[in-house]
Amino acid sequence: MWRQLKWRIVGGNMAVVIAGATLVLLMTQIVTRMVVPEPILAEVRHLAEASDPAGAEVATAVLLDTFRGTIITAVLVGTIGAIFVGWFSSLALARQILHPLNQLASSSQRIANGRYDERIPIPDSAELASVATHFNQMAQALATIEEQRITLIGNVSHELRTPLTSMIGFLEGLMDGLFPSSEETYAPMHAEMQRMQRLVDDLQTLSRVEAGA
């Protein structure tokens, strides 16, 4: 995908360069056929007539052809140079754009795999810098949510372990005959079960709130 985008950027820039160079060549040919420096023509005619009056027109035509050819050659060389410059500058521009995007794609994949500490450097381009900044803010928010989730799981595990441990102790005592089967024995177990029920209700409420957010 990125390779295709790279060549689209390069191709678009090169199309502009080639179109501009073609227009310059066409305009050069038209202008050199229409506009000829009159002082040069007068001097050529004067010299040609002084040496060979019969060949004055031929000499003038040769000079005009040479003049036009020189201009067209110069423009053509400049055009080829512009194409090479456009090619390398397009590659540099494509790399400048695609390198941060490649980093963004790689970091996104690592975050999807659970690497919430992943961050990308801020590029020089203002537009890409904005994207990178928002990406890092998103990654930080995900890391914070993950930390809160881990903390919540730890707290819930601790809160559930206490009543479970108490209930297991009471049940083992009843099974071993250490506690009498009376209301005084079952009352603490009932209290611990109510405590567990409150924890479960709180978790369900939290789950609904986060789902609604």
106-130 pLDDT, tens digit each = 888 888 888 888 888 887 777 778 8
First-to-final CA distance of the chain: 34
| Cα torsion 176, 182, 184, 186: sign | positive
Contacts of 5 (CB under 8 A, 6+ apart): 94, 98
Q: How far apart are CA 174 and CA 164, in angstroms?
A: 15
pTM of structure: 0.49
Q: How far apart are CA 174 and CA 177, in angstroms?
A: 5
- The pLDDT score that the predictor gives to residue 195 is 82
- The pLDDT score that the predictor gives to residue 2 is 46
- The ranges assigned to domains in the chain are 2-115, 143-212
pLDDT band at 171 (very low <50, low <70, confident <90, very high): confident
More confident residue, 143 or 75: 143
Q: How far apart are CA 32 and CA 35, in angstroms?
A: 5
More confident residue, 154 or 4: 154
CATH number listed for the domain at residues 143-212: 1.10.287.130
22-78 pLDDT, tens digit each = 666 666 666 555 555 555 556 555 555 555 555 556 655 666 667 667 667 766 776
More confident residue, 12 or 65: 65
Q: How far apart are CA 163 and CA 189, in angstroms?
A: 8
Assess contact for 65 and 21: CB atoms under 8 A. Answer: no
